C-alpha cells in the first residue's frame, strides 16, 4: 500500500532542503541532535517515491545495524520498495563487490576475512618465524605491529612516517617492520586471507585500476549517501570519489565538530575539503537541535566556536530550559566519585531512571574509583568501551573451528586449535599444518599417521571436520558439534570455564539467526557484538543500570543527565595531545561530543588534586590540577553554574590559584610510554 508522506509537516525547512536536493554533490553539516538520521531516512523514501529504482541507491554507514534501521524506517514511511536499497558498511559493501570480482584481482572468491585478533596472531607468527621476538632490544609486539601497519594503510602514510609521528621509540626497527609488512602481505595472498584493511585496499584498487568495473558500479549506484562522513579515512574517501565519478549524485552527511576517530585513521580533512574535492557541492547546515536545552547548547556552541577550523554553525532549540550546566571542583578523585554517586541517588529519588544517567570520561581507567564507589552504594552500572565479544579467547577458539570448515587451508585457525591440545606444541602443530595445508590434504589425512599418536583429541578433531563436511549443517548445529570437542579443552585451559561456557552459549544463540556459514563468519568479523552488552543480558530491565562510557563509545547516544569527569589538563585534553595542535583540536571535539549527549542536566567535574601515578606534571603522586583549557574562566563564568562540594579541604587552592605548570620539554618517548597505559584503558 502506497503512503503519502507529508514532508512539510514532518521536516523543518533545512531538513526538507536536504531531502529534496537530489542531483549533484551535497554536503550536509548536521549539528548534534539535529536529525541527520531523519534526513537520510526521508531522503531514501523521497528518491524511491520519485520513481528512482531502489537498486540504484547506495547507503553507506559505519554499522550495518544503522543502515538496516534506516531502511526499515524508510519502508514504514513509504513501502517495501525501500528494502531493496543497498545499505551497509564500507567493509560489508567491499566484501560483496570483491566476492563478485575477486578473480580480476587474483583473489579466490572464497577468501577468509581475518578479524583484528586473527591479524595480530598472523603477524606474530611471522614475527616469530623471522626471529624478531628474540631481540635483546625492545621490538614492537603483535598488537603494536598490527596497529602500525593498519594506520599506514588507512592514513595512506609510509611506515617511516607513522613510526616518526606515533611510534618514535621503534624507529630503529623500520627495516624489520617493513619486512614483516611484506611477509604478512605475501602470507595472506598465499592463503586467500584478507584483513579489514585489505577489503578497502582491494576495493579501491578495483575501482581505480579497472575502469570498466568502475563504470559498471558507478552506473549501478546513481545516488550515493554516506552517513558520518567525518569518520571516513582516505581510502573510504577515494572509494566514494570513484563510485560517484559518473552521476556526481553524492550526499555526505556528518559533523566536522564530531570528528573524534583519528586514532582509527579517520581523516578530518575529508569533510573539510569535500567542497573542494566535489566541485560545485551545495552546503546545507542543520542547526535546530531536538535533544538538548538551550543553556547546554550555549556552552557547546562556545566550546566549538574556539576551534581552529570547521564549518560555522550555531545550534539552537525550542526548548529554553532553566538549568545551566554545573561545574564542580572537588578535593580529589574519590570526592569526585562520591559526588557522582550522591547525585545519582538524589536524581533517582526525584523519579529519574538510572538508565537516563551516564558518566563519560576520556580514558577507561578514569572510572576505576567511581566503579568501586557505585558498587559500594549498590548502584548497578554497565561500562562501555571494553573488549569485543568475539575477541574473547574462548569465543575465538570456537570460531576457529568454523573458519576451518569454511576454508580447510586457514593456517591461523589450524594453529590456534592445535595448540589447545595437550601433547601438541608449536613444532608438532607446524608439522600437522604442513601436511594439511601445504600439501593440501585437507581433512583426508590418514588417521593411522604418526601425528595422531600425540593425542586422541587430534583424531577426534579430524573426525568432527569430516562429519561436518559430509553434511550441510547450519552454523548453530556446527557449533554444537564442535562444543563437544572443545569442552574438555576449555575446562583444562581456564579456571572460570563455567563463565566462559555462558559466552559460548550466547555465540550459539547468535548463530541460530543464520543459515549461511559464510554470512555468519562475515558478520562476526565485520560487525561483532560487544562482550559487555552480551554479559549484561539483553533481556535485563534497562532501567536498572547507570551507563559508564568512554566518550568515543558514547558518540551517537544521549541521556537525560550526563556527568563528565576528570576535566583537567592532562586528562581532557589527554597527555598525548599536549604537543600537537591537531590532536588538541580533536580533544576539543571530544568534549563537544560528550557535552552534546545531555538532554537536561550536564555536570562538569574536576578533581582539585590528582593523586594518580600517571600524572604528567610532576614526579610525585600528588599535584594540583589545572582546569581543562577548553573550559577557561570566560566560559565557566558565562555559561555554567559553579558549585562546590562538601569535603573540600579548607586550605585547598581555588581554580584561580592552581599551579600553572605547563607541559614542555618532555620527550615524545616519555609521552608515548605513559600513553600506552591510557590507550590500554581507553576506547
Residue-wise pLDDT tens digits, 360-381 = 999 877 887 888 788 878 899 8
Peptide bond into 278 cis (omega under 30): no
Q: Which residues of 266-291 are buried (b: 16+ CB within 10 A; e: fewer)?
A: bbbebbbebeebbeebbebbbbbbeb
pLDDT at 662 over 50: no
What rounded mean pLDDT belongs to the chain? 85
Mean pLDDT in residue range 498-503 = 74
Question: Given the C-alpha cell 606515533, which residue does it identify?
Answer: 166
Confidence of residue 660 (pLDDT cuts 50, 70, 90): very low
Q: Report the share of the chain in percent with pLDDT over 70.
A: 85
pLDDT band with cut points at 50, 70 and 90 for residue 672:
very low
Identified catalytic residue from 37, 331, 455, 583? 37
For the chain, state the CA radius of gyration: 27
How far, in Å, CA of 575 to CA of 675, rounded?
7
Cα–Cα distance, 75 to 634 (Å, whole number): 48
pLDDT digits (tens, 9 = 90+) for 408-461: 888 889 989 998 888 888 888 888 888 776 666 556 655 556 666 666 788 888
Active site residue 673: no
Collect all residues with Cβ–Cβ distance below 8 Å to 95 and sequence separation of at least 6: 113, 199, 522, 526
In the residue annotation, 212 being an active-site residue is answered as no
Q: What pLDDT is attached to residue 377?
A: 87
Could you report the per-residue pLDDT of 310-353, keeping only the tens digit for each?
999 999 999 999 899 999 999 888 899 999 999 999 999 999 99
For 374, residues 6+ apart whose C-beta sits below 8 A from its C-beta are: 337, 341, 344, 380, 381, 546
pLDDT in tens, 223-242: 999 999 999 999 999 999 99
The single residue of 166, 197, 228, 332 carrying the catalytic annotation is: 228
* pLDDT of 532 strictly over 50: no
Question: What tens digit of pLDDT does each residue of 456-481 get?
Answer: 788 888 889 888 988 889 999 999 99
Q: Are 381 and 548 in contact (CB under 8 A)?
A: yes
Model confidence at 390, pLDDT cuts 50, 70, 90, reads: low
**Higher-scoring residue by pLDDT: 397, 445:** 397
The stretch 179-198 carries a mean pLDDT of: 93
Catalytic site includes residue 569: no
- Distance between CA atoms of 66 and 282, rounded to whole angstroms? 25
Give the pLDDT confidence score for residue 56 in this predicted structure.
Answer: 96
**Bridge partners of 626?**
none
What is the three-class DSSP state of 48?
Answer: helix
Catalytically annotated residue among 227, 338, 410, 610: 227
Stretch among 13-17, 60-64, 95-99, 651-655 having the lowest mean pLDDT: 651-655
Judged by average pLDDT, the poorest of 3-7, 292-296, 639-643 is: 3-7
- In this prediction, residue 57 carries a pLDDT of 97
pLDDT confidence of residue 664: 36
Judge whether residue 533 has pLDDT over 60. no
Q: Which three cell numbers stand for residue 193?
A: 586471507
User: How do residues 28-51 score in pLDDT, each as one tens digit?
Assistant: 999 999 999 999 999 999 999 999
Higher pLDDT, 621 or 219: 219
Q: Are 447 and 462 in contact (CB under 8 A)?
A: yes
- pLDDT tens digits for range 589-610: 999 999 999 999 999 999 988 7
Kindly provide the b/e burial profile for residues 126-139, where b requires at least 16 CB atoms within 10 angstroms of the residue's own CB: bbeeeebeeeeeeb
Q: What proportions of the chain, in percent to the nearest 5, are helix, strand and coil?
A: 55, 15, 30
pLDDT score of 502 more than 80: no
Residues 14, 15, 36, 43: which is the catalytic one? 36
36 is catalytic: yes
Q: Select which of 122, 230, 258, 336 is catalytic.
A: 258
Question: Do the Cβ atoms of 223 and 19 come closer than 8 Å?
Answer: no
Please report the pLDDT score of residue 682 as a whole number.
Answer: 42
Q: Encode pLDDT of 607-633 as tens digits.
A: 988 765 444 444 455 678 889 999 988
Give the separation between CA 299 and CA 636, rounded to whole angstroms: 9
End-to-end CA distance of the chain: 45
Whether 597 is catalytic is: yes
Give the model's pLDDT for residue 141.
84
Active site residue 8: no
Amino acid at each position: 500500500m502506497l503512503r503519502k508522506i507529508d514532508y512539510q509537516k514532518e521536516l523543518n525547512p533545512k531538513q526538507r532542503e536536504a531531502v529534496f536536493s537530489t542531483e549533484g554533490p551535497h554536503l550536509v553539516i548536521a549539528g548534534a541532535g539535529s536529525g541527520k538520521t531523519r534526513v537520510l531516512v526521508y531522503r531514501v523514501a523521497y528518491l524511491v517515491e520519485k520513481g528512482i529504482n531502489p537498486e540504484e541507491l547506495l547507503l553507506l554507514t559505519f554499522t550495518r545495524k544503522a543502515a538496516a534501521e534506516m531502511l526499515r524506517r524508510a519502508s514504514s514511511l513509504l513501502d517495501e520498495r525501500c528494502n531493496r536499497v543497498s545499505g551497509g558498511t564500507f567493509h560489508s559493501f567491499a566484501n560483496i563487490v570483491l566476492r563478485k570480482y575477486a578473480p580480476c584481482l587474483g583473489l579466490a572468491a572464497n577468501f577468509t576475512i581475518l578479524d583484528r585478533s586473527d591479524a595480530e596472531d598472523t603477524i606474530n607468527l611471522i614475527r616469530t618465524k623471522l626471529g624478531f621476538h628474540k631481540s635483546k632490544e625492545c621490538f614492537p609486539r603483535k598488537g603494536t605491529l598490527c596497529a602500525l601497519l593498519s594506520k599506514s594503510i588507512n592514513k595512506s602514510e609510509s611506515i617511516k612516517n607513522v613510526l616518526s609521528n606515533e611510534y618514535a621509540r621503534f624507529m630503529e626497527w623500520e627495516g624489520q617492520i617493513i619486512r614483516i609488512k611484506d611477509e604478512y602481505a605475501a602470507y595472506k595472498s598465499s592463503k586467500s586471507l584478507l584483513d579489514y584493511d585489505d577489503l578497502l585496499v582491494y576495493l579501491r584498487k578495483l575501482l581505480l585500476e579497472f575502469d570498466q568495473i568502475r563504470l559498471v558500479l558507478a552506473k549501478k549506484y546513481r545516488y550515493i549517501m554516506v552517513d558520518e562522513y567525518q569518520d571516513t579515512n582516505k581510502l573510504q574517501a577515494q572509494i566514494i570519489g570513484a563510485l560517484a565519478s559518473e552521476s556526481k549524485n553524492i550526499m555526505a552527511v556528518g559533523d566536522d565538530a564530531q570528528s573524534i576517530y583519528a586514532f582509527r585513521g579517520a581523516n578530518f580533512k575529508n569533510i573539510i575539503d569535500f567542497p573542494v574535492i566535489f566541485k560545485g557541492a551545495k552546503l546545507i547546515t542543520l542547526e535546530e537541535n531536538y535533544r538538548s536545552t538551550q543553556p547546554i547548547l550555549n556552552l557547546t556552541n562556545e566550546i566549538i566556536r574556539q576551534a581552529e577550523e570547521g564549518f560555522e554553525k550555531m545550534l539552537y532549540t525550542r526548548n529554553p530550559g532553566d538549568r545551566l550546566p554545573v561545574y564542580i571542583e572537588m578535593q580529589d578523585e574519590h570526592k569526585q566519585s562520591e559526588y557522582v554517586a550522591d547525585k545519582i541517588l538524589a536524581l533517582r529519588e526525584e523519579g529519574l531512571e538510572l538508565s537516563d544517567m551516564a558518566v563519560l570520561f576520556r580514558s577507561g581507567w578514569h572510572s576505576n574509583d567511581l566503579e568501586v564507589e557505585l558498587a559500594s552504594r549498590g548502584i548497578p552500572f554497565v561500562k562501555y568501551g571494553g573488549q569485543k565479544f568475539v575477541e574473547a579467547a574462548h569465543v575465538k577458539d570456537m570460531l576457529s573451528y568454523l573458519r576451518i570448515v569454511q576454508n580447510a587451508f586457514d593456517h591461523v585457525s589450524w594453529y590456534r586449535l592445535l595448540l589447545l591440545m595437550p601433547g601438541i606444541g608449536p613444532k608438532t602443530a607446524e608439522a600437522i599444518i604442513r601436511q594439511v595445508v601445504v600439501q593440501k590434504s585437507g581433512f583426508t589425512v590418514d588417521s593411522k599417521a604418526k601425528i595422531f599418536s600425540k593425542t586422541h583429541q587430534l583424531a577426534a578433531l579430524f573426525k568432527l571436520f569430516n562429519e561436518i563436511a559430509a553434511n550441510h549443517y547450519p552454523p548453530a548445529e556446527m557449533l554444537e558439534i564442535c562444543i563437544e570437542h572443545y569442552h574438555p579443552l576449555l575446562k583444562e585451559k581456564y579456571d572460570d570455564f563455567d563463565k566462559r561456557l555462558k559466552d559460548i552459549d550466547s555465540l550459539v544463540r547468535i548463530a541460530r539467526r543464520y543459515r549461511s556459514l559464510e554470512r555468519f563468519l562475515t558478520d562476526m568479523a565485520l560487525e561483532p557484538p560487544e562482550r559487555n552488552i552480551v554479559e549484561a543480558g539483553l533481556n535485563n530491565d534497562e532501567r536498572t543500570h547507570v551507563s559508564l562510557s568512554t566518550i568515543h563509545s558514547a558518540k551517537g547516544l544521549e541521556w537525560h543527565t550526563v556527568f563528565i569527569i576528570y576535566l583537567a589538563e592532562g586528562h581532557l585534553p589527554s597527555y598525548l595531545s599536549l604537543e600537537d595542535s591537531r590532536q588538541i583540536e580533536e580533544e576539543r571535539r571530544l568534549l563537544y561530543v560528550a557535552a552534546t549527549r545531555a538532554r537536561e542536566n550536564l555536570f562538569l567535574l574536576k578533581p582539585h588534586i590528582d593523586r594518580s601515578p600517571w600524572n604528567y606534571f610532576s614526579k610525585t603522586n600528588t599535584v594540583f590540577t589545572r582546569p581543562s583549557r577548553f573550559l577557561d574562566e570566560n566560559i565557566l563564568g558565562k555559561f555554567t553554574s559553579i558549585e562546590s562540594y562538601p569535603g573540600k579541604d579548607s586550605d585547598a587552592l581555588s581554580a584561580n590559584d592552581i599551579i600553572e605548570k605547563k607541559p614542555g620539554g618532555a620527550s615524545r618517548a616519555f609521552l608515548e610510554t605513559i600513553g600506552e597505559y591510557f590507550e590500554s584503558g581507553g576506547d
